[in-house]
Structure 1
Amino acid sequence: MLAKYSKREKNKVRDFLHKLTTFLTKEFKEHIHGFSSIKFLNPHNSTKECSRCGELNEALKGASYECKFCGLKINRQLNASINLYLQMEGLSPSPKLFDELMNGWSGFTQTGEKANEDFNEPKRSIRLMNPKRNIPTVMFRYVSQNP
């Protein structure tokens, strides 16, 4: 019988703490995260709307998006994320803005055009691939001798 009451008291304390922390989180979330206000994005039609021209494409198939109006070919998830980004920034889709933002991307084409073969990707540093390779062996000896 005593165990039942102690469990009940624990639940009361747990419930009070949960209510208190929930209240504080809701009340002060903007101050904690440093935001002045939080706006929720509307994901409606984010995968159906072309991120380049803004036209809706109701006939979606598979994981890729193909716009019938401007010829954009892109991954549907990437298309949706670009649309949500534009919505977050308060911008509307336009071919000029899309081409300006996507100009630096390489490795695939969005509009079905041929890839620019003259574009040289930056060389990858050996340090990024294998950081231990560039550390002098003297450092390894020092670390192994002094744990």
Structure 2
Amino acid sequence: MYLPFRHKLPRFTPIDFLAIDSNLYTLDAYDGEKFITFSLKELYSMKYGMELKRSKIQSFASKHGRKGKELLRKYSHRERNRVLDYLHKFVNKLLEMYPLTLFVVEKLNKQGMFEDANRKLSKKISKTVWRSIHRVLKYKAPLYGSFVKEVSPYLTSKSCPRCGRVSRKVGGTFRCGRCGFTLDRQLNASLNIYLKVCGFPTSAKYRGCGSGSPR
């Protein structure tokens, strides 16, 4: 017999910050002292294998009527469960690494990304699970005394965190034409997300802004 009940969790004040920039195969983050990259390649390799298998099952289903549709339904259910299991384990590991933390993530509009992407990039974007990661993170963060905040990704990868200059074109590396600041584009985005939440002026040198002790 199961007895459902409500239990109010104690509220904590997060003492650390982790700003996360979501990319195709990684989550690139800055915690106030160092940059850290979380790889998602294993997940996308798994999804790619699932896609190949799904195409075979769909071909089978189109030729075997009801039996084929039932097989496709079961496989789709198993596929979703495998992805969800991976996401929960990934988020658990992240929360264990950063308890009592304010996680800052981008409020992404995937549909808007498709409008500016070519066919090849659109196919890659369609496989991303950013929103699913954010959703699971929001759900589990309070269990670790943590919280999640969404911010706009506007110009985070194109702005200089030192002087505030916005570069129109940014490749794999961000280079500021005014002050010479240079950093990987994805890491630069996580740094700008961090500064946006911490409230430092853009001219400030990036450093920790929380009250937490150094890691």
The bucket for the TM-score relative to the shorter chain is 0.3 to 0.5
Answer 1 or 2: higher relative contact order, Cα 8 Å, separation at least 6: 2
Normalised by the size of structure 1, how large is the TM-score? 0.41
Q: Which has the higher strand share?
A: 2
Which has the greater radius of gyration? 1
Normalised by the size of structure 2, how large is the TM-score? 0.29
